[in-house]
Amino acid sequence: AQSVTQLGSHVSVSEGALVLLRCNYSSSVPPYLFWYVQYPNQGLQLLLKYTSAATLVKGINGFEAEFKKSETSFHLTKPSAHMSDAAEYFCAVTPGYSSASKIIFGSGTRLSIRP
């Protein structure tokens, strides 16, 4: 079975500061891991994904995430926050390549950016 836990329902950082959003997963088989972003009044958009290749994954808008099997983590980072990064971020897991119905989403982390 798979599950994902996002630590912190709300994170606030200053513009220009490091963004760190935490995600831990549980999976009985090698997982695929994802970060999605949701801007106000919109659907979710894929930021990046890990599918068993390189453990450091680069995504859109300057975000990246590192798959750490020993820590069962897939934290999302961005070196310098921008006001436009304010949104809700969802970590998700699937048991490797599988149908869309197998994807499990975390509860989300709302990112606020202070001027």
Partner 1 sequence: KAGVTQTPRYLIKTRGQQVTLSCSPISGHRSVSWYQQTPGQGLQFLFEYFSETQRNKGNFPGRFSGRQFSNSRSEMNVSTLELGDSALYLCASSGPSGGGEKLFFGSGTQLSVL
Interface ranges with partner 1 (CB under 8 A): 32, 36, 41-46, 49, 51, 90, 94, 97-103, 105-108
- Cβ proximity to partner 1: between 69 and 102 the closer is 102
**18 or 46: whose CB is closer to partner 1?**
46
Q: Give me the least distance between CB of 109 and partner 1, in Å please.
A: 11
**How does 16-48 read in b/e, with b if 16+ C-beta sit within 10 Å?**
eeebebbbbbebeeebbbbbbbeeeeeebeebb
Q: How far is the CB of 21 from partner 1 (least distance, A)?
A: 15
For partner 1, which is the closer residue by CB, 19 or 44?
A: 44
Minimum distance from CB of 14 to partner 1 (Å)? 26
Residue 81: phi and psi, rounded to 5, are: -70, 145
Which lies closer to partner 1 via its Cβ, residue 76 or residue 81? 76
75 contacts 65 by C-beta, under 8 angstroms: yes
Distance, C-alpha 32 to centroid of its chain: 12
**Amino acid making up residue 85:** D
